[in-house]
A and B are shown apart, each in its own frame.
Chain A
């Protein structure tokens, strides 16, 4: 990193990292609780993951292996540039391989490959307060968290059912952590909610603009809110991944041409490629080499 010697390791100064680590430790000690922190200006705009980047910068060490995904993909602009950022400012190894990564920074997905002990998942969070849209006053939402007054969260789900006949919230689906705090899992699809429950990995959430950090320690209960007569359900897909044939994974719609042609493929690109390398083939039957033409 000789060419950027003017920067400290991982961009942030040590005092800032300490401050953020304290917030992270407090978040881990109180699972699901939003800890305020003094968010710094980062060399990227708000909405591009400034919260997640600060958390990653505060926990990353020279031996870490970093993976960054955006909507499940390793190769989109946001993921590529954040990976490049940390290669430059921390000189760390980066990877697209979920199993090999020690830190995975994510925008709106949890990898399909089960996470294991020792791994840390860092979420980029736009709006950390699950009660925000129904109760605009921060003083009031804080009090509601403190006093465990969460009836309002169900009002939101009630509205969903009243308007759509079912709970139509498909992402940022509220969860209760360790039976205490109601938390917004960031705009991940609710498909990923069950993966948060009792995960072996440490899950950290950073909201840069809103200046909040929260956490789910490993092996913590995470329950999606629901009604007795409208229980929580994850999305189901009619067909398996068109490329690798995987079932029970989250799929993205890909438009193939301007005549309505489309296919559904794994949103987790690393997972999909690994399967195809192992010989799995979906209905479009493309070989590994053919994929690059599509993407």
Chain B
């Protein structure tokens, strides 16, 4: 039987990663990683500590120059730009407008000594917003979207709980309507109940805003809840990739089977 099978999705990717490798001297960070990411798609990168997932995340988010390989991004004007051929100014501009980066430790992504409102407003001011009233009302709106009361707008994140800080970090990143967000263990340091709330919130925001995201996590439950697609990494290489529920329910590789079977069932 012969059928012509065509792909119904004809839109173009947002990000193209080709043969990215990073070595630290003789040691390998990540090796020969290639994938594409489409608008609105959430990709989870899983693997245990030292598997190279954070190195990969840093390489594709302009934070660490790969040893070889290319990372290309489709800009808002639809032109393709190679990340490491852009000027540093352009890369940094991209980082605070069209991209977001959510750190595991909120203190790494927040300014702890300025108010929550200023934390959210900083990106707006960075792109030239010079109207205090507008900046403040946008900040209130975003605090609300991450479930932080407007009455906390003038408090410093130092006075916030871990979960609130993480939600503030998310608001701070999303205020410029980025199209791509990188997350490094976004629920890492949080209590289980706080994690659940954050995951639910993230899931809602990602779906509502049509965000593309790359989430690095060692927590397969996080991957299942947040991501459409998964990449399993071991020793710097991608060993298995596919639809998230396919990889988790029918893992093919020995290492993936080991990972999946190590989950505590509750």
Contacts and interface: CB of A to CB of B under 8 A. Distances in A.
Do A and B touch, yes or no (CB under 8 Å, in the complex)? yes
Interface of A: 134, 143, 147-149, 151-152, 154-155, 158-159, 161-163, 226-230
Contact of B92 (A149, A161, A226): A149
A42 B196 CA distance: 62
Contacts of B228: none
Given A162-B115, A162-B117, A151 B122 contact: yes
A151 B125 contact: yes
Interface string B168-182: 000000000000000
27 contacts: A134-B113, A134-B114, A147-B92, A148-B89, A149-B126, A151-B96, A151-B122, A151-B123, A151-B125, A151-B126, A151-B127, A152-B122, A152-B125, A154-B130, A155-B114, A155-B121, A155-B122, A155-B125, A158-B132, A159-B114, A159-B118, A161-B132, A162-B115, A162-B117, A227-B132, A229-B132, A229-B133
A158 B131 contact: no
Contacts of A147: 88-89, 92
A230 B132 contact: yes
Contact of B135 (A149, A152, A158): A158
Nearest to A158: B118
Interface in B173-196: none
B111 interface: yes
B136 interface: yes
A163 B126 CA distance: 21
Nearest to B133: A229
Contacts of A154: 125, 130
A12 to B, nearest CB: 38
Contact of B131 (A143, A152, A159, A227): A227
A158 B89 contact: no
B154 interface: yes
Given A227-B131, A230-B132, A162 B126 contact: no
Interface string B105-145: 00000010111011001110111001111011000000000
A91 B118 CA distance: 53
Question: Chain B interface secondary structure, helix, strand, loop or mixed?
Answer: helix
B142 to A, nearest CB: 15
Contacts of B89: 147-148
Interface residues of B, number: 24
For the complex of A and B, 6 pairs with smallest distance between CB atoms: A151-B126, A154-B125, A151-B125, A227-B132, A147-B89, A228-B131
Nearest to B88: A147
Given A152-B122, A154-B125, A163 B154 contact: yes
B131 A162 contact: no
Contacts of B132: 158, 161, 227-230
A257 B126 CA distance: 50
A159 B115 contact: yes
Interface string B238-251: 00000000000000
A159 B114 CA distance: 7
Contacts of B115: 159, 162-163
Interface in B140-167: 153-154
Contacts of A161: 132
Contact of B118 (A149, A155, A229): A155
A158 B126 contact: no
Given A149-B92, A227-B132, A155 B111 contact: yes
Contacts of A163: 115, 154
Contacts of B113: 134
B179 to A, nearest CB: 20
Interface string B69-113: 000000000000000000011001000100000000000000101
Contacts of A228: 130-132
Nearest to B134: A229
B130 A227 contact: yes
A162 B125 contact: no
Contacts of B154: 162-163
A31 B114 CA distance: 30
A162 B120 CA distance: 13
A74 to B, nearest CB: 39
Nearest to A147: B89
B121 A158 contact: yes
A123 to B, nearest CB: 28
- Pick from B96, B114, B117 the residue with the most CB of A within 10 Å: B114
B125 A158 contact: yes
A162 B125 CA distance: 15
Contacts of B111: 134, 155
A163 B117 CA distance: 11
B72 to A, nearest CB: 22
A162 B114 CA distance: 10
Contacts of A158: 117-118, 121, 125, 132, 135
A229 B96 CA distance: 24
A160 to B, nearest CB: 10
Contacts of B133: 229
